[in-house]
C-alpha cells in the first residue's frame, strides 16, 4: 500500500515539472544507446542483471530484484553503489 501512495505522490509532484521526466528519459535513451555501442558495457550489464557479476552480495540482490521486483531500501542503496561505482554501468 505504501508503494501505491509513493507512486501517486511522485506522479502528482512530476506533473507540473515535465522537464524532470524529459531529462530522465533522455538520460535513459543515452544509456541504452551506450549499451548498443560498447560491447564490454553490454556484457557487464547482462552479467549484472542475471546475477553473474562475481560479487556475491550484488548477485544475490540482482536475483532477488528479478524474482520479487523489489529490494529493501538499504539493499537498493548498496546495489546502486556497486552498479555505478564498481561495475561502472549507466
- In this prediction, residue 49 carries a pLDDT of 95
pLDDT class for 83, splitting at 50, 70, 90? very high
Q: Is the distance from CB of 89 to CB of 83 less than 8 angstroms?
A: yes
What is the distance between the alpha carbons of residues 84 and 87, in angstroms, rounded to a whole number?
Answer: 6
Same domain, 44 and 23: no
C-alpha cell recorded at residue 53: 557479476
Closest CA to 59 of 42, 32, 85, 83: 83
Domain span at 66: 38-90
Same domain for 57 and 86, yes or no, is yes
Q: How far apart are CA 73 and CA 55, in angstroms?
A: 19
The torsion angle over the Cα atoms of residues 78, 81, 86 and 87, rounded to 10 degrees, is 100
Which helix (H) or strand (E) covers residue 17, if one does?
none
Q: What is the pTM of this model?
A: 0.72
Q: What is the pLDDT of residue 57?
A: 95
Q: What is the pLDDT of residues 27-75, one digit of tens each?
A: 999 999 999 999 999 999 999 999 999 999 999 999 999 999 999 999 9
Let me know whether 23 and 67 are in one domain: no
pLDDT digits (tens, 9 = 90+) for 68-79: 999 999 999 999
Amino acid at each position: 500500500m505504501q508503494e501505491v501512495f509513493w507512486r501517486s505522490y511522485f506522479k502528482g509532484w512530476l506533473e507540473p515539472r515535465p522537464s524532470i521526466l524529459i531529462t530522465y528519459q533522455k538520460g535513459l535513451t543515452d544509456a541504452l544507446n551506450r549499451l548498443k555501442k560498447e560491447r564490454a558495457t553490454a556484457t557487464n550489464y547482462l552479467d549484472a542483471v542475471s546475477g553473474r557479476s562475481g560479487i556475491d552480495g550484488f548477485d544475490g540482490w540482482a536475483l532477488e530484484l528479478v524474482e520479487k521486483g523489489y529490494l529493501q531500501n538499504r539493499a537498493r542503496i548498496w546495489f546502486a553503489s556497486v552498479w555505478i561505482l564498481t561495475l561502472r554501468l549507466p
